[in-house]
Amino acid sequence: MAFFNFRLQPKNELEKGGRTSAPVQSDESEPEKKCPNCHKDIPISELAGNLNVCSCGYHFRLNSRQRIGMITDKGSFKELFTEVDYSDPIDFPGYQDKIDSAKNLSKEKEGVVCGTAKIGGEDCCIFAMEPYFMMGSMGTAVGEKVTSLFEYATEHRMSVVGFTVSGGARMQEGLFSLLQMAKTSGAVKRHNDAGLFYLTVLTDPTTGGVTASFAMEGDIILAEPSATVGFAGARVIEQTTKKALPKGFQTSEFLLKHGFVDAIVSRQRQKTLIRHLLKIHDRREGV
Amino acid sequence: MKTEAYEKVRTARSNSRPTSIDYIHHIFDVFFEMHGDRKFADDGAVVGGIALLNDLPVTVISIEKGRSVKERMARSFGAPQPEGYRKALRLMKQAEKFGRPVICLIDTSGAYCGIGAEERGQGQAIADNLMEMMTLKTPVISVFVGEGGSGGALALAVADRVWMLENAVYSVISPEGCASILWKDSSRASEAAEVLKLTAEDSYENGFIEKVISEGDIGEDSFYERLKWELIWEMNALRDKPLEELLEERYQKFRKVGAQETD
Ligand SMILES: [Zn+2]
């Protein structure tokens, strides 16, 4: 297993309420991208051919469609619940503008993409959260889509593969968003109690209310190298405790060491491993 | 700018307000406190045990802020560590085994925020409670007696009935935290409190809770007596429900929050 001895600059400024400023979506017209780890300029074409992983091992962020494209068999993805849209249940100031710019930036309707697909020939339900839509924060739409996917998977006796990336609960929807943690967890529990398989892949960053709900509820929990994963934001912890954070705090490697993930798996190895795990856990015949 | 919502936040946080232990002593006839999560530690922020509600044995689990300064320190001001949530879950599973109903009393600014809490899986501990409470095979009533801060409060509030005291608050984020994200200015917390819709009345109107408990006589015998009888009546009604119906209603209660039509 490859371990990375570098620690990326702390970027977990995400708090439970979710970061409101959006990260920069990769611009296809840009010829190259600077690697934040090895500082080399890498041609976009080279990155694309290598699952957006730098030769030094640094995993660049992927949007939800890239993620699904990378992991599923060509042409097998069928999207579900596309009609689910954002809502503004507590009429929060400035929320509409945030949504509009998130839609513009991500070209998605909301913070998660769900559907069915084949991975190496194995059928499954799949969701991938969208980092460019308000950092995958969970409001009612995200909660509704994830819940609906688990209900669909339970009904059809299918495994679920989920890629998480989230700043946590979406503050702008108040308690409506907090309660999505209970709603999604309930659907995961029913899927679990039906004897069905759920695999999560924690990607950078997975924090707050998503960590404290469906991200941590997988039968098998994988993580991408050096992803930031935690409950409370690192900066908040630093401010509250006034202590220096240990090296590598809230990284995948930290979670592995403390017993909260099963394995750290680089992007290149994910498809093969997930295919095997799905095959082992196929329950459609009610075995 | 002073707002009514922020007045409630201040009241909910007030040191002169009864804490969970006061409720336990006044409402229940007997209370045997149990300690520890059987895995790592005993978290003083969560107080739980077996009690008699009139004649009915129940499991009581509460988040306790503490009263004296010393006690408040020992209880981390009511911010549970992962061990607190794991102790709560242990007691809930025990309640399920012996067919005892569960009563949770909630008063927390949120789950403990610290290095150790992250090392020992704060997120995982909360997630586990959310899943297990949804299918716990015994009735659960959760009462917010003070602050209800985010996931750290929700981890004891996946219940058949959720009640809030008139001045209790329940929020996805603290008003201070919200203000500093929204306006980069935590002093505008009182405006944030208003927009977050965190009062008991808001929660009731949005269908998140079933009852708002009036506080006119808070701390007096009549207050505890009234709450005690509300609990007895409601618990009897819940115990009369077939288990399958109870669990389906619990699931749907949360399922309907922000639900949309899907194909
Ligand atoms: Zn590099």
Give the tokens for residue B183: 């306006």
Domains detected in chain B: 4-250 (3.90.226.10)
Give the tokens for residue B76: 């981390």
Q: Helices in chain B by DSSP H: which ranges?
A: 4-13, 20-27, 69-74, 82-97, 115-119, 122-134, 150-154, 175-182, 189-196, 200-205, 221-240, 243-255
Distance CA(A199)–CA(A160), nearest Å, equals 6
User: Is B260 in contact with A16 (Cβ distance < 8 A)?
Assistant: no
User: Is B172 in contact with A174 (Cβ distance < 8 A)?
Assistant: yes
Digit-coded pLDDT (tens) for A30-60: 788 899 999 999 998 888 889 999 999 999 9
Checking if the pLDDT of A6 tops 80, the result is no
Digit-coded pLDDT (tens) for B33-74: 999 999 999 999 999 999 999 999 999 999 999 999 999 999
pLDDT at A7: 35
pLDDT at B262: 76
pLDDT at A283: 78
Digit-coded pLDDT (tens) for A152-200: 999 999 999 999 999 999 999 999 999 999 999 999 999 999 999 999 9
What is the dihedral angle through the alpha carbons of B205, B211, B212, B218, rounded to the nearest 10 degrees?
-170
User: Is B151 in contact with A16 (Cβ distance < 8 A)?
Assistant: yes
SS3 A264: strand
Residue to mutate among A171, A192, A207, with most B CBs inside 10 A, is A171
Distance CA(B194)–CA(A86), nearest Å, equals 22
Checking if the pLDDT of A80 tops 90, the result is yes
Q: Give the position of tokens 């439970």.
A: A16
> Is A174:A90 a contact under the CB 8 Å cutoff?
yes
User: Is B172 in contact with A240 (Cβ distance < 8 A)?
Assistant: no
pTM: 0.94
pLDDT at A15: 32
Residue that wins the pLDDT comparison between A5 and A142? A142
Burial of B15 per CB tally in 10 Å (0-12, 13-18, 19+): exposed
SS3 A120: coil
Residues facing residue B51 across a β-bridge: B31, B58
Checking if the pLDDT of A24 tops 80, the result is no
Residues 39-98 of chain A whose Cβ lies under 8 A from any Cβ of chain B: 80-81, 83-85, 87, 89-90, 92-94
Instruction: State the Cα angle at B188 between B184 and B194, rounded to 5°.
Output: 120
Distance CA(A165)–CA(A211), nearest Å, equals 9
Checking if the pLDDT of B250 tops 80, the result is yes
Residues 6+ apart with CB under 8 A from A130: A63, A64, A106, A108, A110, A111, A112, A113, A136, A165
Digit-coded pLDDT (tens) for B80-107: 999 999 999 999 999 999 999 999 999 9
pLDDT at A177: 98
Digit-coded pLDDT (tens) for B151-192: 999 999 999 999 999 999 999 999 999 999 888 888 899 999
Q: How confident is the model at residue B1 (pLDDT cuts 50, 70, 90)?
A: low
Interface predicted TM-score (ipTM) over 0.95: yes
Distance CA(A140)–CA(B135), nearest Å, equals 22
Q: Give the position of tokens 């520890």.
A: B36
Residues 189-218 of chain A whose Cβ lies under 8 A from any Cβ of chain B: 189-190, 192-193, 208-209, 211-217
Backbone angles phi, psi at B99, to 5 degrees: 65, 30
Nearest CA to CA, how far is B142 from chain A (Å)? 14
The answer, for B11 touching chain A at a CB cutoff of 8 Å, is: no
CATH number of A62-280: 3.90.226.10
The answer, for B15 touching chain A at a CB cutoff of 8 Å, is: no
What is the dihedral angle through the alpha carbons of A149, A155, A157, A158, rounded to the nearest 10 degrees?
-20
Q: How confident is the model at residue B2 (pLDDT cuts 50, 70, 90)?
A: low
Instruction: State the Cα angle at A46 between A45 and A51, rounded to 5°.
Output: 100
Digit-coded pLDDT (tens) for A201-257: 999 999 999 999 999 999 999 999 999 999 999 988 998 889 999 999 999 999 999
The answer, for B135 touching chain A at a CB cutoff of 8 Å, is: yes
